[in-house]
Amino acid sequence: MSELKYQAGFGNQHSSEAVPGALPLGRNSPQRVPLGLYAELLSGAAFTAPRVENLRSWLYRRQPSVVVGGYQPLDHAFLKTGAAQAQLSPPDPLRWAPTAIPEQPTDFVQGLRTLVVNGDPDAHTGMAAHLYLANRSMERSAFINADGELLIVPQQGSLRLTTELGRLDVRPGEICVVPRGMAFKVAVDGPSRGYVCENYGAALRLPELGPIGSNGLANARDFLAPVACFEAEPGAYEIIKKFGGQLWRAAQAHSPFNVVAWHGNLTPYKYDTANFMTIGSISFDHPDPSIFTVLTSPSDTPGWANVDFVIFPPRWMVAEDSFRPPWYHRNVMSEFMGLVLGQYDAKPEGFKPGGASLHNAFVPHGPDAEAFAKASSAELKPHKLDNTLAFMFETRWRLQPTAFALQGGSLEANYAACWQGLNDSFPA
């Protein structure tokens, strides 16, 4: 596949045209758009949202999105939405082994498997964590999620996303975000697995940096938006829409990827986690993991995120007289974790790439007995944690597992046993 072009910068007012002269200049909606195109506004924020949070793009397309047939419900046994469609969560730590990619033909949408959910998309609160398991590209089929924005974290296999605004290639180690309401399809290059955070709340953005200053963590210039690109082949399309916790399907006589030019700041984007500038302790103690926040979706209580996307990338550990892995803790926030590659320092053996864990509100967790023993006796010389990428979707609302999560076959029977070796060493 040819190398794609991108436009750099988080939240920029980008503009792009696939055909010279297609983009109107000086106004958004001229009486006649060049080349017979239709102007269409896609609003990802209320018109009156504050300027810094306002998200919208103008699309210039061969036919407007309203040219589509009627929608019929489409069943999906494993895709769940909001707390209402989940099960009661036991207050135990939960962990899932990697789920196998099916043998039968499965595309990205068919391969979605919801593990945990909270909130309610109609209240613009909460999130879902899904796995995707796919071995087939979406060809003449497009997906639109009206319930939430999608943060995609590939774990195995590279994806090519075709979106209304252009294409993105995303491989393990990179992530991408598709705005709520934007049509896209996913092509795979073989058996593919990864994680998806469906964010029902405020759009993801870069976290504030406070005393860190004006640089660091995920730098804005490393976020890449696509350039305009449209499909010229005639022929019908299936449009699948997630709308109110239900999939719907409609037929359309033409490709929805018919945008010849666009401008605006509501765009899909990708980010290579290798560009994340990590900050850590250069004296003592293990800092809070918020130093690894890539993107955050705030709730209406300052600091209490609807979702934080946090990564644990390769980094140096140098702290003196310190227990270097995460501390034992209980957290009002709920922590869903995945592993893209390598080992996670708190669970070096038990947590596998493609697996997942849930440490819900106030559920105690921390390094397993093996990690504790190693870290409490290791020589504290500078040590590089390398070939590793774990991540966390952290949310202020308790996450509830789905029936698939509890009964789908990947749930570990006795995850909590990994802490049973933490003996009482107090001198009697």
Contact residues for ligand OMD, defined by CB under 6 A: 286, 289, 326, 335, 346, 359, 365, 392
The item of ligand OMD, Fe ion, none sharing an interface with residue 392, based on CB under 5 to 8 Å by kind, is: ligand OMD
319: Cα separation from own chain's centroid: 31
Q: Which is nearer to Fe ion, 223 or 292 (CB)?
A: 292
Per annotation, catalytic residue among 130, 286, 359, 383:
286
Q: Which is nearer to ligand OMD, 9 or 289 (CB)?
A: 289
Closest distance of CB 401 from Fe ion, Å: 17
Is 359 labeled as ligand-binding? no
The item of ligand OMD, Fe ion, none sharing an interface with residue 225, based on CB under 5 to 8 Å by kind, is: none
Q: Which is nearer to Fe ion, 196 or 337 (CB)?
A: 337
What CA–CA distance (Å, rounded) separates 117 from 107? 22
| Nearest residue to ligand OMD, by Cβ distance, number only | 326
Q: Which residues bind Fe ion (CB under 5 A)?
A: 335
Is 329 labeled as ligand-binding? yes
Q: What is the phi/psi pair of residue 329, to 5°?
A: -160, 165
Q: Which is nearer to Fe ion, 330 or 384 (CB)?
A: 330
Is 344 labeled as ligand-binding? yes
Q: Which is nearer to ligand OMD, 240 or 392 (CB)?
A: 392
The item of Fe ion, ligand OMD, none sharing an interface with residue 198, based on CB under 5 to 8 Å by kind, is: none
Are the C-beta atoms of residues 162 and 123 closer than 8 Å to each other? no
Closest distance of CB 231 from ligand OMD, Å: 42
The item of ligand OMD, Fe ion, none sharing an interface with residue 346, based on CB under 5 to 8 Å by kind, is: ligand OMD
Closest distance of CB 185 from ligand OMD, Å: 34
Residue type for position 339 = L
- What own/partner pairs with CB < 8 Å and gap ≥ 24 does 218-222 have? 218/10, 218/271, 218/275, 218/276, 218/277, 218/294, 218/295, 219/275, 219/277, 220/9, 220/10, 220/11, 221/8, 221/9, 221/10, 222/8, 222/271, 222/272, 222/275
- Both tokens of 256, joined, read 């929805």
Closest distance of CB 307 from ligand OMD, Å: 15
What CA–CA distance (Å, rounded) separates 244 from 242? 7
Q: Which is nearer to ligand OMD, 200 or 336 (CB)?
A: 336
Is 124 labeled as ligand-binding? no
Closest distance of CB 126 from ligand OMD, Å: 20
Closest distance of CB 369 from ligand OMD, Å: 15
The item of Fe ion, ligand OMD, none sharing an interface with residue 338, based on CB under 5 to 8 Å by kind, is: none
- Both tokens of 91, joined, read 């207050």
Q: Is 286 a catalytic residue?
A: yes
Q: Which is nearer to ligand OMD, 154 or 338 (CB)?
A: 338
The item of Fe ion, ligand OMD, none sharing an interface with residue 289, based on CB under 5 to 8 Å by kind, is: ligand OMD
Closest distance of CB 312 from ligand OMD, Å: 7
Among residues 42, 399, 6, the alpha carbon closest in space to that of 176 is found at: 6
The item of Fe ion, ligand OMD, none sharing an interface with residue 80, based on CB under 5 to 8 Å by kind, is: none
| Nearest residue to Fe ion, by Cβ distance, number only | 335
Among residues 238, 144, 226, the alpha carbon closest in space to that of 183 is found at: 144
Question: Annotated binding site, which residues?
Answer: 329, 335, 344, 365
- Enumerate the known binding-site residues for Fe cation: 329, 335, 365
Q: Which residues are catalytic?
A: 286
